Structure 1
């Protein structure tokens, strides 16, 4: 039985080989021939086919609309840059500022008037501002500097701060300055509780007329003139923004 199966398999292989090679064409047994003539017969309207060269007129015409569109954005940065350059070149000027200095006493105000006369008319004013009196808790006058040094050592032991009282009250010591006599008396009472026994209240400065310099609209041009025109007459005071 096995031998019969082998014989049949060999015959089948031989028959397929003869069929596939066209050996049985004479008996009408052969595979369909797929040569070039049969393919030409299967084409549909081959006369309508055209071959165009690559990069020809058709390709050029299809790419042509992209030219203007791509060139437009390239010119945009140049236009915007040209428009922005005048704005950056001309920086806005700072608005005028109001400046003031003081308070000046009558003598200082006279010197200031003379110096400010060189400035444009209406650019400055001297406004009356009374100078209030000042009171001091004072120790002195001492007979000499040795007595002053001894009293300073005592105050350091009591941890009480002190200061120079000014030329009119030398040699002596200031233990505090106050805007009213009542405030100075309260300050002296506190110092007495800390062990100070020889201090007293004196008037350091009486009420006096005073003046405030005011420049309401200082622009860049006027600002350049202030240092040379007013600085010597400011008596060490500085110009500051108006309150």
Structure 2
């Protein structure tokens, strides 16, 4: 038995040596060859390989950085604010004097008068409450008339006296009594600030310069 085991081991060693040295390639037996031609065949599209500079930043990764660094400025836009009375316009004129000449103007405008269909004045708030109840029963809308006409009720505001008179006639047809037309506001002169060409880069400087004199009015696109 020992002699048989020795013979088998000797044959196994001889077979492995022949296999590892490629002596059995003719029978299709042998280890995979790692010769240079075979390694080249295993490469996937070697012509597309590119060497990168240190840091791994190739042309593709550099392109977005250049694009982000060149953001175009916003196109100039026309802005305006108003209207301002004579006192507010003078304060605004002094503030705007810090801006480049020709970049702004104060343009005179006329605010049209306004008329109201009005109920009042009433002797007290209790009388106002009773009238509100009557109007609700008639399905007539109402609003507060403003401090100068309290205690009372506004049944509508109109840009012309003719419009207010027409509304008064319609309300009379609905059962509203003792209403009348009053002029809530007369024609009022004023001024509008106009900045014809404000770029995005200029906007922050203009806001900081004019904000204290704008009297709470916002700069808006020109209408």
Task: Settle same-fold status: TM greater than 0.5.
Answer: yes
Partner of 1:215: 195
Partner of 2:49: 71
TM-score, with length taken from structure 1: 0.65
Determine whether 1:134 maps to 2:134. no
Larger radius of gyration: 1
Question: Can you list the C-alpha shifts for 1:192-211, whole angstroms capped at 9, x where unaligned?
Answer: 11111111011111112122
What is the rounded CA distance, in whole Å, between the counterparts of 2:45 and 2:149 in structure 1? 94
Structure 1 residue 138, shift from structure 2 partner = 0.9
In terms of fraction of residues, the more helix-rich structure is 1
Is contact 2:73–2:201 with CA below 8 Å preserved after alignment? Answer: no
Structure 1 residue 181, shift from structure 2 partner = 0.6
What is the rounded CA distance, in whole Å, between the counterparts of 1:240 and 1:160 in structure 2? 36
Task: State how many pairs are aligned.
Answer: 185
DSSP-derived class of the 1:93 partner:
coil
Determine whether 1:236 maps to 2:209. no
In terms of fraction of residues, the more strand-rich structure is 2
Structure 1 residue 73, shift from structure 2 partner = 8.4
TM-score, with length taken from structure 2: 0.70
What is the rounded CA distance, in whole Å, between the counterparts of 1:73 and 1:55 in structure 2? 25
Structure 1 residue 68, shift from structure 2 partner = 8.1
What is the rounded CA distance, in whole Å, between the counterparts of 1:188 and 1:102 in structure 2? 32
Determine whether 1:150 maps to 2:140. no
What is the rounded CA distance, in whole Å, between the counterparts of 1:108 and 1:164 in structure 2? 28
Structure 1 residue 225, shift from structure 2 partner = 3.0
DSSP-derived class of the 1:92 partner:
coil
Unpaired segments ≥5 residues, structure 1: 1-52
Structure 1 residue 159, shift from structure 2 partner = 1.8
Structure 1 residue 108, shift from structure 2 partner = 3.0
Question: Can you list the C-alpha shifts for 1:116-162, whole angstroms capped at 9, x where unaligned?
Answer: 23333322211122111111111112222222222222212222111
Match of 1:90 among 60, 70, 92: 70
Is contact 2:85–2:190 with CA below 8 Å preserved after alignment? Answer: yes
